[in-house]
Amino acid sequence: MNPHYQNLIQRLEEISHLSGVMSTLGWDQEVMMPPGAADVRAKQIAALAGVIHERMTDPGLGDCLNELAVIGSADFAAAEQCNIREALRSYELEAKVPKRLVQELAELSSRGHGIWVAARQENKFADFAPVLQRFLHLRKEWAQYVLPDLDPYDANIDLFERGTTMSMIAPVFERLKAELIPLIQAIQNHADQPDTSFLQGRFALNKQEALARRISRDIGFDFEKGRMDVSVHPFCGGSHPTDVRITTRYSERNFIESLYAVIHETGHALYEQGRPYELGDLPVSESLTMGIHESQSLFWERMIAQSKPFCQHYFATIRAAFPENLQHVSADSFYRAINICKPDFIRVEADEVTYPLHVILRYEIERGLFDGSIPVDDLPLIWNELMRKYLGIDPPDDAHGVLQDSHWSSGAFGYFPSYTLGALYACQFYRTLLNEQPDTEQNVMKGNFVPVKNWLNEKIHRQGRLYTPQQLVERVTGEPLSSDYFIDYLKDKYRDIYQLA
């Protein structure tokens, strides 16, 4: 092996293992840590983050990458080229930013979160506005340092969805608006809404947990290489494909929320557990982007678990867990109930039809903030105006409006589009799966998820970072990302559920 490449591998694996430790700390903080340990945990995380940053910006790493650049890529296999390419990108992302800026971003991120929590609690956007203003300035500056050839907002998007720009997103989002706004209006105007009364009531927590574990295991979560616990917000964490940790929360009054959260997080987990770590704990075996990750969670949550065949397979099991609540309910009415479409204020609770409009609203606001057409102080006004325009509803206050998401409190601009790109990827992947394996719905109806999981493993998970998201979508589906599949899917499904013309 080339000694410079060997040097690189050693450095990258050390960084990967230390980052794995950091992930374990993060999981522990949300799931296990005693409340009194918050202060010392912040110090422990800062110490470890300092070490990782030191390793990632080590001049020795820079020298090694320079040596490898001189050699050129022809001598290296595809996986090795990927490791070199990814290492160079992350070295530049870390090393090109002046320390002063790194520190101010970290400091504002930590301070900003507290200010956001308080502002949301008190419904006072004005308290949060200066943080947002400062972040906007810093993230533009950051973009100038790391990706000077891109528009600053595109640079921020690139951090989460590599290679995706406003010029690609804009036509997709315009099309979604044109199609979804009338579809939602038609659904809203329809007299016959699904009955969801049986989803209210009391659902024993131990039954909920047993059901969630069973379904997560059925669809492929490997509990030998993972765990499932409880946290305030569901997430998928863990330190390695052999150590994947999902969480959910249970409410006695709503079992659908926690069950579908588990299925969503299981989708993320299957991606993590399916990564090709036999190639080493290296960039090539890592997951690709936020959008591709979200495509995997949404694939299982929406394409599979919100489908009719899935409801047909599991309804008897679910009814057996909650016989008093569901004794007079059919699989079909259960399917209709869990797919109810209803505009509401909170993005994370939105259904699959209205969700993209929550994202588009945020994208348009971020774009306007970056190009200067929207002043920070006008955000509550513009937010509420767009909510009326896109979803026909009026947020009662900023906590249910512009202050609802945490992303901006840590300066994460450009993240939101990934949610909807994920939904589009998921739909396009599912369409391809149906073409390649026409018995998929039959399999799901029988509870046989192995072919679906194997297909995702092979086509997506095991590709690691070999390709860009754009390349991956083309390789898997034979064409670039298209909004057609998503729009057709929603129209077909909701015309059927709501019996629209």
In degrees and rounded to multiples of 5, residue 412 shows phi and psi of -85, 85
For position 217 contacting a second copy by CB under 8 A, the verdict is: no
Please answer whether residues 316 and 476 qualify as being in contact, where contact means their C-beta atoms are separated by less than 8 angstroms: no
Q: Which is nearer to a second copy, 268 or 319 (CB)?
A: 268
Instruction: Report the residue from 192, 224, 278, 324 that binds a second copy according to the rule CB under 8 A.
Output: 224
Looking at the Cβ atoms of 281 and 352, the one nearer to a second copy is 281
* Least spacing, CB of residue 239 vs a second copy, in Å: 7
Residue 244 or 259 having the CB closest to a second copy: 244
Q: Could you give the residue numbers annotated as active site?
A: 265
Q: How far is CA 499 from CA 73, 193, 311, 329, 335, in A?
A: 57, 10, 19, 20, 14
149 binds a second copy (CB under 8 A): no
Nearer Cβ to a second copy (50/130) = 50
**Is residue 424 a contact partner of residue 172, using CB atoms and an 8 Å limit?**
yes
Smallest distance, a second copy to C-beta of residue 56, A: 13
Residue of 2, 26, 30, 51 that binds a second copy (CB under 8 A): 51
Phi/psi of residue 254, each to 5°?
-150, 100
R_g over Cα of the chain? 23
With CB under 8 A as the contact rule, the residue among 1, 47, 74, 232 that binds a second copy is 47
Q: How far is CA 394 from CA 397, 398, 416, in A?
A: 9, 11, 21
What is the DSSP-derived secondary structure letter of residue 236? E
Tell me if 21 contacts a second copy by CB under 8 A.
Answer: yes
In the list 60, 114, 137, 223, the residue contacting a second copy (rule: CB under 8 A) is: 223
Under the binding rule (CB under 8 A), the answer on residue 123 touching a second copy is: no
- The phi, psi pair for 226, rounded to 5°, reads -175, 175
39 is a site residue for a second copy (CB under 8 A): yes
* Least distance (Å) between residue 465 CB and a second copy: 18
Nearest to 452 by CA among 463, 465, 441: 441
| 231 contributes a contact to a second copy by CB under 8 A | no
Do residues 130 and 119 lie in contact, with contact meaning Cβ atoms separated by under 8 Å?
no
Q: Residue 109, interface with a second copy (CB under 8 A)?
A: no
Judged by CB under 8 A, the chain residues 248 through 307 that form the site for a second copy are 281
What are the distances in angstroms from CA 443 to CA 177, 309, 429, 453? 34, 9, 17, 12
Residues at the interface with a second copy (CB under 8 A)? 13-14, 17-18, 20-21, 24-25, 28, 32-37, 39-41, 43-44, 46-48, 50-51, 222-227, 239-240, 242-244, 281
